[in-house]
Amino acid sequence: MARRGKGEGSIYKRSDGRWEGQIDLGYVGGRRMRKSVYGRTRREVQEKLRKLLTDLDRGLPVLDERTTVAEYLRAWLQAVETRLRPRTFERYTEIVENVRVPFLDSVRVVQLQPHHVHQLIAADLTQGRSARTAEFHRAVLHAALNDAVKWGLLTRNYEDYTALATACDVLPWLVKLAGMGTPWFPLQGARLMH
């Protein structure tokens, strides 16, 4: 069998019988980063590695299971900078760095669930932001996760299951959980959102 070239990754059989392939992503902060893929057959792993290498060549961010939402959002901003207007890019960067990153720094992308987004909305509201601002912050996260689905990094966008406009019966209880005091009734929450 021919030796694989530099940058093509490596494939080997593990002790548990599965095949593993690895590609080198370079060094980040002085630490070597690698991405592993697994399969039942060597051919399956070769196809996965080929897809990963193609994504890298296209400039798409490569997610591993440990990538946090904050790390992905930073990589997403770099990937979409050219298709955004300068002011839009500035605003998105401000939202990602000042609002999203502190809250989502410990949540891994593969573990993101609708309740995380609900907590994020509640945190926006408890910090005195308007429902419209919370909706805009949610929309930025939605766009980023939609791109992750389009790029094949995620299988679904869990953020699709959270919409502020349809959550007026959920928001009062989230606000109570966040410690803002007495919950509103659904009609009061709906009035605040308009």
- Average pLDDT per consecutive 10 residues, the chain (194 residues; last block may be shorter): 65 93 79 85 92 80 75 89 93 83 77 82 83 85 88 75 50 53 47 50
How many domains are there within the chain? Answer: 2
Phi-psi map region of 65: left, alpha, beta (phi>0 left; psi -120 to 50 alpha): alpha
In a domain, 81, yes or no: yes
Q: Residues 35, 93: one domain? A: no
In a domain, 1, yes or no: no
Amino acid identity at 27? Y
Q: Residues 107, 175: one domain? A: yes
Q: How far is CA 152 from CA 32, 55, 113, 137, 145, in A?
A: 24, 9, 18, 23, 11
In a domain, 180, yes or no: yes
Q: Residues 176, 95: one domain? A: yes
Q: Residues 83, 109: one domain? A: yes
pLDDT value for 184? 47
Q: Residues 105, 136: one domain? A: yes
Q: Residues 44, 77: one domain? A: no
pLDDT value for 17? 94
Q: Residues 33, 80: one domain? A: no
Q: Residues 49, 83: one domain? A: no
pTM of the model: 0.58
Q: Which of 31, 34, 33, 7 is nearest to 22 (CA)?
A: 34
Query: What CA–CA distance (Å, rounded) separates 142 from 173?
Result: 23
In a domain, 106, yes or no: yes
Q: Residues 18, 89: one domain? A: no
Q: Residues 164, 74: one domain? A: yes
Q: Residues 103, 25: one domain? A: no
pLDDT value for 102? 67
Query: What CA–CA distance (Å, rounded) separates 140 from 95?
Result: 8
Q: Residues 51, 87: one domain? A: no
Q: Which of 124, 128, 83, 74 is nearest to 103 (CA)?
A: 124
Which range of residues forms the domain containing residue 20?
Answer: 10-57
pLDDT value for 179? 55
